[in-house]
Chain A
Amino acid sequence: MNKIVRTWKLNGEQRTVEFPPMRRLLDVLRDNLSLKGTKEGCSEGECGACTVLLNGKPVTSCLIAAGQVPDGAELMTVEGLEHTEGGRLLQHQYIEKGAAQCGFCIPGMLMASYAYLAGADDVDLREAAMREAHAGNICRCTGYEKNYGSRERRRRTMAERRETRKNRTTGPR
C-alpha cells in the first residue's frame, strides 16, 4: 500500500492522518479530514480558493503534495479562523460589509487576509500593498471593494484594541 502517516498541528489541534503521499493537500483536508471549507476552484494555482496557511504562510493547497508537508507542520484552514481573535473579527467584517456573494472564493480570501494582517509588525499597510497581498485570489461575483473594506476595518479595529490593551497594561500617564 502506497500510504504514509503524518501528524500535523491543524487549526491548533494535533491531527494524525494516513494518505497516499502525492495526494494534494487540498484533497487530504477535504476528503480525509472532512474540512470542506477549503474550496477547489481552478486546480492550477490561479484562483486562490484553496488557500490555507502552512506555517503561517498562505499557500494554494492544490499545488502541494500532502506528503511534502512534514510532521509537526502547522496548518490552518478557514475552519480555524474562529479560534483566533483576528480571524473572528475578519469574518465579522466580511459579514457586516456583505463582502460575499456566491461565497466560493471567500475561504481563500479570508485566509490570504488573515495571513497578511497577522504577519510581522512591520507589514506594509498601505492600500496598494494590502491589495497586492490578495492578487492571488480571484472573485467572479462582487468585485473586490467590499472585501478590501472588510480587511481595512478589521485592521483598524485590531489596532484600536491593541492600543487599548497597551494603555491598560502600562496604565494612564
Chain B
Amino acid sequence: MSALEQTELLTPNTLDEALRFLADENTRGTLLCGGTDLMVQWEAGVRPAPARVINIKGLTELSEIKMENGALVIGAGVTHAALRHSSLVIQCAPSLAEAAATVGGAQIQALGTIGGSIGNASPASDMAPSLLVADAIAELASVRGIRKVPLPKFILGYRKLDLAPDELIVRFHLAPMPVGAKENWHKLGPRAAQAISKVMGSYRGKVESGRISLFAVALGSVAPTAVRLPEIEQWLIGRAIDAETLKGAEKRTSDIVKPIADIRSTAEYRRWVSGRLVRGFLEHLASPS
C-alpha cells in the first residue's frame, strides 16, 4: 500500500483559492504540481507523507509564457515540455529551452515544471543556471500580496528557500538575451537523458569588436545552490577569447568552485570539470554560429 493513503488532497480551481488554502492552517498543505520530485520522495520514505496536499497542477494562472514590460515571464506551472517548445523561450533564453529538453525523458518533461525545479531547492536543479544567467526574479504570492525576489536571494541553501508557509511561487521574470548575444547549456552526467547531473551550467555572453562585452555564467551541483561566478565574469570582460583566456578561465574556475563529493561524483572531478565547462562555454561564444 502506498505511503499516501491517508493524505488528504485539495484541488483549488483558481490561484486565489490556492492562496486562501495556504493562508488558513486548517487547509494549508504541501504544494504538489508535476510530482517528479515529491512523489518519489514520499513513496521512498525520504520525506514523511504529509497530512494534506494542495494540487496546483493545471492552474491556468501558473501556465503562461509571455513578454511583459520587456521581461520574459514564465509561469511556475510551465512544464519542461512547454519550455523546450516555446518560441519565446527559444528566442529570449535559449539555454533554458536546451536545459528543459534534457530533463528526464518525454514523460518527465510532460509532468515536471520550472516552479517545481526551483521549489525543490536542490543544487542539481537543471533549470537554475539558465535562470541565474538571465538575472531571473521569482514572483511570490500570498493573500498578503506579491513579493519579487532575485533568484540568488530566493534560493538560500540546500533545500532552503525564502518562502513563507503561506506563499507560492507564481512566475519568474527573466531579462531577455540581448541582441547579438549567445547562450549555451551543458550537462555532465552518466547519460544525456534521465540521469541527474554531476555538474551542469549555462552561460550568456557577447563579443564586440573581438572582446568579451558580456559574460554571465552559472553552475549547478558545485555548491549547496546553483551559483553565478562573478569573479570569472569580471575577469573575462574586455578580454579576447584566445588560448591564454581559455586557460586562465579554466584554472580560475577550478580554483573558485567548492563542490562536495556525493553519490553522483567526487569533489575533485567536479572541480576539474567545472573549469572545462567554462572553457567550453568560451569556445562556444567564440565559434561562428
Contacts and interface: CB of A to CB of B under 8 A. Distances in A.
Interface of A: 2, 4, 20-24, 27, 43-46, 48, 51, 54, 57-60, 62-65, 67-68, 70, 112, 115-116, 132-138
Contact of A2 (B8, B43, B44, B192): B8
B111 A64 contact: yes
Contact of A65 (B35, B36, B108, B110): B35
Interface string B1-39: 010111111010000000000000000000010111001
B58 interface: yes
| Max chain A C-beta neighbours (<10 A), residue from B11, B104, B107 | B107
A27 B2 CA distance: 9
Given A22-B2, A22-B4, A136 B111 contact: no
A45 B108 contact: yes
A22 B111 CA distance: 16
A135 B192 contact: yes
A65 B108 CA distance: 14
A43 B39 CA distance: 9
Nearest to A21: B9
B101 to A, nearest CB: 8
15 contacts: A21-B9, A22-B5, A22-B49, A57-B81, A62-B43, A63-B34, A63-B36, A63-B108, A64-B39, A67-B55, A68-B55, A70-B58, A136-B104, A136-B193, A137-B105
Contacts of A51: 107
A44 B194 CA distance: 11
Nearest to A133: B106
B53 A22 contact: yes
B9 A135 contact: no
Interface in B146-204: 192-194
B107 A136 contact: yes
B40 interface: yes
A65 B58 CA distance: 13
Nearest to A48: B107
B271 interface: no
Interface of B: 2, 4-9, 11, 32, 34-36, 39-40, 43-44, 49, 53, 55, 57-58, 81, 104-108, 110-111, 192-194
Contact of B111 (A21, A63, A115, A134): A63
Given A64-B111, A136-B193, A20 B106 contact: no
The 7 closest A-B pairs by CB, nearest first: A136-B105, A135-B193, A21-B9, A22-B4, A135-B105, A22-B7, A67-B9
A132 B2 contact: no
Contacts of B35: 63-65, 68
Contacts of B111: 59-60, 63-64
Contacts of B6: 2, 20
Given A20-B4, A63-B35, A134-B105, 8 more contacts: A21-B8, A24-B43, A45-B107, A48-B107, A58-B106, A60-B111, A65-B55, A136-B105
A116 to B, nearest CB: 7
Contacts of B57: 68
| Max chain A C-beta neighbours (<10 A), residue from B7, B39, B53, B192 | B39
A4 B53 CA distance: 14
A60 B55 CA distance: 17
Contacts of B9: 4, 21-22, 65, 67-68
A60 B108 contact: yes
B211 to A, nearest CB: 36
A144 to B, nearest CB: 12
B62 to A, nearest CB: 14
B176 to A, nearest CB: 26
A128 B228 CA distance: 33
B32 A68 contact: yes
A112 B107 contact: yes
A73 to B, nearest CB: 10
Nearest to B57: A68
Nearest to B81: A57
A63 to B, nearest CB: 5
B192 A58 contact: no
Nearest to B9: A21
B120 to A, nearest CB: 13
